Every structure is written in structure tokens, then in C-alpha cells.
A = this chain, B = another copy of it.
Amino acid sequence: MGAFKMRGASNAILSLSDEERNKGVVTHSSGNFAQALSLAAKKVGIPAYIVMPKNAPEVKKNAVRTYQGQIIECDSTPIARENMAEVVRKEKGATFIHPSNDDQVIYGQGTAAMELLEDYPDLDYLFTPVGGGGLIAGTALAANYFSEHCKVIGGEPENADDAYRSLLSGNIEHNETADTIADGLRTFLGNRNFPIIKKYVERIITVSEKEIIEAMKLIWERMKIVIEPSSAVAFAALLKQKDDFKNKKVGIIISGGNVDVNNLPF
């Protein structure tokens, strides 16, 4: 479905017992994970219950419906969506799968880096964006177990720099506001992925909105790939600090192309 979230969603569903699996899965997400879990569930013929805020854009609801996800609406607050997911979990007996703070999701997201390292075993650095922390935690595990010396670096918007501050303070920090064009990275870390990030991630580099948009445009123009702003953040981080990585072999995880081509930021 065009984004790395499919890896984590599939791995989480395939890790369930038959009995668990048949009762379905539930998550709260209005982004790519909602679509990914719906499609992964559809592929094995089980229901996916997707808790979404009432005011989520119709285009995102339709994408979930395309993959036969069953939408349950809730108020637009973190507590409301967690409560609603818990109601659904109890009522349907479905297994709750968090979009980023779930071991099997983390392992699934790590397969992108694992495959990249199979093709390029001598990478010195691997860059990923940091949102909820699932991708960077999985990538860090993959680099630790499947490479000799590859270090993992995160890119994060200055305007949603919770992970950057979390690594500094040693505790999970939150964003007061998260006014960034990289709308997939407005979330915060969790108790499953933060310990992995703390242990294995080398550094997080924050970037401005302008730097995100410039990096996105460069990838469109040179690599001819339509990527969304959240996906450009890792490359923006590398561009910003490029002198630190001269003569190094650098990989970048690029994933996610939800863009309204009639309304581009450049």
C-alpha cells in the first residue's frame, strides 16, 4: 500500500495465534497505519477495527474503507481514541495493535533496514524519520543485529522535536504543539520503542519546515519519486549535516507518498 507501515501491520497480525487472529485486530490511527492494518487483515480474511477521529478527512476514511477496514469514530483527543479502542477490544475480543509502540510492529518495520543491509552490508549510516518511533526502533535493531558497524540516525521536524528532547532528557517527552508539514511525525515515543531508541540510536537531527520542503523537492526532481513531507525528513537531516558524513556510505529509508498533487508546498 505504498508505505513501510505495511511491514509492521503484517508482522503483528501474522504473530497472533489462530484463535486471536480470528477475532480481528483494532488500532487507533488516521494515517498510513490505519490503511496498512486494514489491508493486512483483509489479506488473511479477518476484521480490522479502525478507531478514527470524527473529523478525520474523508479521503483518509475512504482509503481505509477501500481495504475493508471497519471505522469506529471517536472524539479528536488522545484519551478519547484510547478509550474507544479499549471498548472495541473488549466488545469484539479483538487484539489491540498500536501503530508504533508494539514489539511485533517494531520488528516488522525493521525489515526495511534488514533488506537494505542485505543488499549493502557495508553501510556506515542509516537515516530514518522519527514519528511514533516504530520505524527507527526497528531500524536500530536491524542495524545492530544485521550489520558490522552501521549507525542509525533519526531526522525529526524542529516543530515536533519530542524524540530529540527525549534522548536529551532520558524520558519520553511530548510536543506542546506540532505544527509541521510532516504530518506523520506529530506523534510521540512509547515505552516499548523508547528503550531501544535510547540504546541503539546514535543521534537525532532536527530540521526546519523549509529544509523538509527543499529535501522533498530534490527527491522529486532527481530521483523522480513522489514522497510526502514526513518521508523527506530523513534526507533533510542528512543534507543539513552533510559535512559530518563525507566519504561515508549512507542509506536512507524513504517511504510514504500521500500527497495532494494539486496542492504542493513548492
Contact = CB atoms under 8 A, between A and B. Distances in A.
Contact of A226 (B2, B226, B262): B226
B224 A2 contact: yes
Interface string A224-252: 11110000000000000000000000000
A262 B265 CA distance: 10
Nearest to A260: B221
Contacts of A225: 224-226
Interface residues of A, number: 13
- Copy number in this complex? 2
Q: What secondary structure prevails in chain A residues at the interface with B?
A: loop
A261 B266 contact: yes
A79 interface: no
A90 to B, nearest CB: 38
A220 B261 contact: yes
A195 interface: no
Contact of A227 (B2, B224, B264): B224
Contact of A261 (B2, B227, B262, B264): B264
A221 B226 CA distance: 8
A224 B261 CA distance: 10
17 contacts: A2-B224, A217-B261, A220-B226, A220-B261, A221-B226, A221-B261, A224-B225, A224-B226, A224-B227, A224-B257, A225-B225, A225-B226, A226-B226, A261-B264, A261-B266, A262-B266, A264-B264
